[in-house]
Amino acid sequence: MCIFCKIVKKEIPSNIILEDDAFLAFHDINPKAPIHVLVIPKKHFDSFNEVDSETMKKMSIFMQETAKELHIDKSGYRVITNVGNDGGQEVKHLHFHILGGAKLAWQHLSDANPKEMI
């Protein structure tokens, strides 16, 4: 069983912000912004590649509610999902990062020179 499935089953503790029957929002253990929260579906999908549109529709609403719960809906935030090797995905259970609480830098996230990639 993957680490986030264990968090869903409460076999591993997490700092939960919001939960319903299908989704969970909890604080990232290694925050990269003043507010760094992960939103996951309770059902296991390996990544964004596998998720169905009905789940995404409901998870979008859940993420909006999470941002409100964190009081960052007005100040702003960033939503990221990493997919696969090039995306830098470490945990193979679909999750969305919600980052906020400060003006975020917009760094390009690749070491590669884009001009050499064409």
DSSP E strands in 14-80: the ranges are 16-19, 23-27, 35-41, 77-80
Of 5-64, which residues contact ligand AMP (CB under 6 A)?
Answer: 12, 14, 28-30, 38
Write out the catalytic residue numbers: 95
Residue 5 touches which of ligand AMP, Zn ion, none (CB < 5 to 8 A by kind)?
Zn ion
Tokens of 99: 């980052």
Tokens of 42: 């309770």
Question: Contacting Zn ion (CB under 5 A), which of 93, 96, 99, 100?
Answer: 93
Tokens of 8: 């869903």
Any contact of residue 2 with Zn ion (CB under 5 A)? yes
Residue 36 CB: number of other CB atoms within 10 A?
18
Question: Contacting Zn ion (CB under 5 A), which of 27, 42, 44, 58?
Answer: 44
Kind and range of the H or E element at 100? strand 96-100
8 Å CB contact between 30 and 99: no
Of 79-98, which residues contact ligand AMP (CB under 6 A)?
Answer: 82, 88-91
Any contact of residue 73 with ligand AMP (CB under 6 A)? no
Any contact of residue 5 with Zn ion (CB under 5 A)? yes
Give the closest residue to 36 by CA, choosing from 94, 82, 78, 84: 78
* Site residues for Zn ion per CB under 5 A: 2, 4-5, 44, 93
* Site residues for ligand AMP per CB under 6 A: 3, 12, 14, 28-30, 38, 82, 88-91
